[in-house]
Amino acid sequence: MEPSLPARCRLLPLRIRGDSRGSLIALEKATGVPFDVARAYFIFDTREGVSRGCHAHHRLNQLAVAVHGGCTMILDDGEMRETFRLASPDQGLLIGPMVWREMHDFTPDCVLLVLADAPYDTDDYIFDYEEFRRLAGS
């Protein structure tokens, strides 16, 4: 069963290709990434009990993939707040602008790949949850 997600988020199935040698998933605009990738990064070696994210973006679109292991995602668009487990490399989580995101409960082996449609820009971040709620409500 697919989780209920805020309106600016959705799960994208990622096609696994492979043969007897192993598996491969290509992340390309032509095969499902709904934006031109301007930045890619990955989160790994996250210590037990640590939370990541805890912010929103004014304009940024991102696609998150748990390449290995998993983590709990909390997504909040100001109207809906949902929690689910992202733990499969064949599933991408599209996170649109003005969505508060938190990541918790990382497995020790988690590698979370994130693709973004713009370079890093500190002015695009909203780090205060109350400010985010105020902006999301307007």
Cα–Cα distance measured from residue 44 to residue 79, given in angstroms and rounded to the nearest whole number: 30
Place of tokens 């999301």: 136
The sign of the CA dihedral 126, 127, 129, 130 is negative
User: Does residue 58 carry a catalytic annotation?
Assistant: no
Burial 24-43 (b: 16+ CB within 10 A, else e): ebebeeeebbeeeeeeeeeb
Among residues 55, 57, 58, 68, the one annotated as catalytic is: 55
Q: Which residues are known catalytic residues?
A: 55
